[in-house]
Amino acid sequence: MEKVIMCRNLTKRFGGFVAVDGISFDVAKGEIFGFLGANGAGKTTAMRMLCGLSFPSSGEAEVAGYDVYKQQEKIKKHIGYMSQKFSLYENLSVSENIEFFGGVYGVNKKEINKRGQELIRALGLTQEANKMVGELPLGWKQKLAFSVAIFHQPKIVFLDEPTGGVDPVTRRQFWDMIYSAANAGITVFVTTHYMDEAEYCNRVSIMVDGKVVALDSPTNLKLAYNANSMDEVFYQLARGAKRNDN
């Protein structure tokens, strides 16, 4: 098994508060890894460390073979990132967003043009290519944002609640794109609050109050917790959480 993410006792403190408390796991190439936890559990903080955006307080981690303390710039080059809050520029057109982000990620102009056109066709956005992204329905924006995040063919894509606010059918279509990316060898690390999405992951980790309290396939987790759904598993584990930012 080729590991593309490895972390051991990864910890982040803010003053005396331990936001991420000694988490350890590996993620394999091409795996779809669900990273669950209630509000305030520490998911975003952990993800920011793995993306090379923030230094851990202690512990070890390697992402795409690079060290999270010493090689943050290398990590950023080899990953894609999409979140609900940060993705596309609403006041640029579909084509301009592809050009811009392709450029930021170091794809050359010729490739951007060629693959950009293919992408627009594949997404069925030919008529909308010159429209401002702000005019697109949310589901289309999310699909485009995901495509842009993997345009430079990264080893890993980090998705922070990528499908918030859209209906189950649109979410399902989004997940078809995730499966295609994983089949092409891109590892997917995804946080979500939707338990139907947790069922789609190869493995799921559940964080409570900064710690990973369970990690396995959805099938094994349901067996272990004698539950019919991931919703039930999640409820059993997260109901005792002390933190809840909401």
Ligand X SMILES: Nc1ncnc2c1ncn2[C@@H]1O[C@H](COP(=O)(O)OP(=O)(O)OP(=O)(O)O)[C@@H](O)[C@H]1O
> For binding to ligand X (CB under 6 A), which residues are involved?
14, 17, 19, 37, 39-45, 243, 245
Contacts of 38-42 with C-beta under 8 Å, sequence gap 24+, read 38/208, 38/238, 38/241, 38/243, 38/244, 39/243, 39/244, 39/245, 39/246, 40/243, 40/244, 40/245, 40/246, 41/207, 41/208, 41/209, 41/210, 41/238, 41/241, 41/243, 42/12, 42/207, 42/209, 42/210
For ligand X, give the closer residue by CB, 98 or 212: 212
Minimum Å gap between C-beta 146 and ligand X is 19
CB of 17: closest distance to ligand X in angstroms? Answer: 6
Neighbours of 190 (CB within 10 A): 25
- The span from the CA of 53 to the CA of 73, in Å, is 9
Select 40 or 102, whichever has its Cβ closest to ligand X.
40
Q: Which two tokens stand for residue 199?
A: 């069922």
Q: Which helix (H) or strand (E) holds 221?
A: helix 218-224
| CB of 107 or CB of 208, closer to ligand X | 208
Given the complex with ligand X, which of 125 and 188 has the nearer CB atom? 188
Q: Choose between 3 and 193: whose C-beta lies nearer to ligand X.
A: 193
* Structural contact between residues 185 and 74, judged by C-beta atoms closer than 8 angstroms: no
CB of 43 to ligand X, least distance (A): 4
